[in-house]
Amino acid sequence: MSVFTGSGVAIVTPFTKDNKVDYEKLAALTDEQIKRGTDAVVVCGTTGEASTLTDDEHKDCIECAVKAAAGRVPVIAGTGSNDTDYAVWLTKEAESVGADAILSVTPYYNKASQAGLVKHFVKIADSVKIPTILYNVPSRTGCNIALDTYKELAKHKNIVAAKEASGNISAIAKIFAECPGLDVYSGNDDQTVPILAMGGKGVISVAANVIPEVMHDICALWFKGEREKSNALFLKYLKLMNDLFIDVNPIPVKCALNYLGYDVGDLRLPMCALSEKDEKLLKGVLKEYSLL
């Protein structure tokens, strides 16, 4: 069984004016996402600024999303680290507060070997009963999961899927060909339909923070067999998907939510607000799509 099919929102972490986590707002965002069609909530990922959350904040954000979702959709907790033992601890904490699955990013900075990646992910997956989704995003971590490593990890009963954000469609095609039992989710909004076309189960989406219905519908139409409509919707919103990456994620999407009145607060340093030029561009594209 897949953890989910469709659009999973990589949800932002809202902050108060004094830069504390706004749990009330996180619960409200989670509830709204579900009401607007989102098929899963991914909390404390890259878009959720997990790297600047304290241990207590990280655990509390996961618990907050779980309570707000109230079983309506799966909640997937980002619990990755470049310290395997710390990732194991955080993964156990996520399971203890009710997460349905975990998202585990490749270790960053260490430059682990492929053998090290296998040992890392197996130790994490062995530590809990909930499913593990691997997260491959070499542009941010400097570490790529090779095909043979995917083949080895796919043998593990708890390693059920991969969020592929390598951007390498040819490499992703080989995962589908060589690892038929491993679910694959697009980790890039602008590759959603190409990955669905190869057999993907959906997308873990940044754009869904802003257009949850659209990202859900792209996937739902595809799975219903209405593929021309799915692709047309995907192409219609492609510019918005791309412009949400005019600066490093999650800077643009968090700014966009603030422009739209969600009051999700500032970013935590070293992330900072958009330049005036990019702010004008982003507001322009939101107006172009009649969102602002």
- Which positions are annotated as active-site residues? 135, 163
Per the listing, tokens 């990013």 go with: 105
Q: What are phi and psi of 264, to 5 degrees?
A: -90, 5
- Identify which of 57, 73, 66 has the alpha carbon closest to the alpha carbon of residue 20: 57
- Identify which of 163, 205, 260 has the alpha carbon closest to the alpha carbon of residue 47: 205
- Identify which of 63, 38, 65, 61 has the alpha carbon closest to the alpha carbon of residue 50: 61
Q: What is 171-193 written as a DSSP string?
A: HHHHHHHH-TTSEEEESSGGGHH
3-state secondary structure of 255: helix
CA–CA gap between residue 268 and residue 189 (Å, rounded): 24
Per the listing, tokens 């692709």 go with: 231
CA–CA gap between residue 143 and residue 110 (Å, rounded): 9
Contact in structure between 209 and 257 (CB atoms under 8 Å): yes
Distances (CA, A) of 221 to 59, 154, 231: 35, 28, 9
3-state secondary structure of 271: coil
Within 109-178, residue ranges assigned H as helices are: 114-126, 138-141, 147-153, 169-178
